Amino acid sequence: MDKLSRFWYELEFEKAYMKRSGNSFQDLFCEIMERGYPNDFQRVRPWGKYGDKKNDGYLKSKRMLFQIYAPNYISQEKTLAKIEEDFNGALPYWQDYFDQWIFTHNSRQGLSPVVLKKLLELEKSNPGLKCPSWGYVEISNELFALNDTDIELILGPAPSIADLLETGYPELRTVLGAISEIEPLSNQDLSPVSDKKLSSN
């Protein structure tokens, strides 16, 4: 992967991280982990009346249990309630199998200090267990530890420097021809931009 492809994939991942929520975000996370840890990471889905026992994914070799929370908007109160419910729901069923309960989220800005304190309190009241949170950086690190083929399967193809160098007039002629056939927009405001707006920008 060259520098252009890497930059492209970083933009694509950031866009996916910020736009996906709920099951779509969970699918993205689980696909990254499944490709990174084949025959080791196991996604867990709700199963009839049994649900998923508050386990969205399990990494056996590292004894990590993942709980994924990816709403459209993260509310502090709802997040605290979610952590309390999911941790206490997972503990009696899975406690013999995990040493880390990982709160995995889709907040690009991070978590509030109150939420962080809640995770630290869970660790303090459950000696031997760690309760870290995973967000943008942690998931990005897992993605870019994959090989190029797996990254492409997750995020799609990316342009490379070689692609740019190989682009010549025949390719540009096709693009320019398509542009020339587009009807111009009517009623466009072509008045000069104010000095205040230019200065502000």
Instruction: Look at 76 and 121; give whichever has higher pLDDT.
Output: 121
Measured in whole angstroms, the distance separating CA 113 from the mean position of its chain's CA atoms is 21
Give the pLDDT of residue 167.
66
Across the range 87-106, mean pLDDT stands at: 94
- Specify whether the CB–CB gap between 128 and 99 falls below 8 A: yes
Rounded distance, CA 139 to CA 147, Å?
A: 15
22-36 helix and 3-19 helix, angle to the nearest 10 degrees = 140
CA-based max dimension of the chain:
70
Please state, in angstroms and rounded to a whole number, the distance separating the CA atoms of residues 190 and 74.
Answer: 41
The pTM score is 0.79
- Residues ≥6 apart with Cβ < 8 Å to 13: 140, 143, 155
The pLDDT of residue 49 is 67
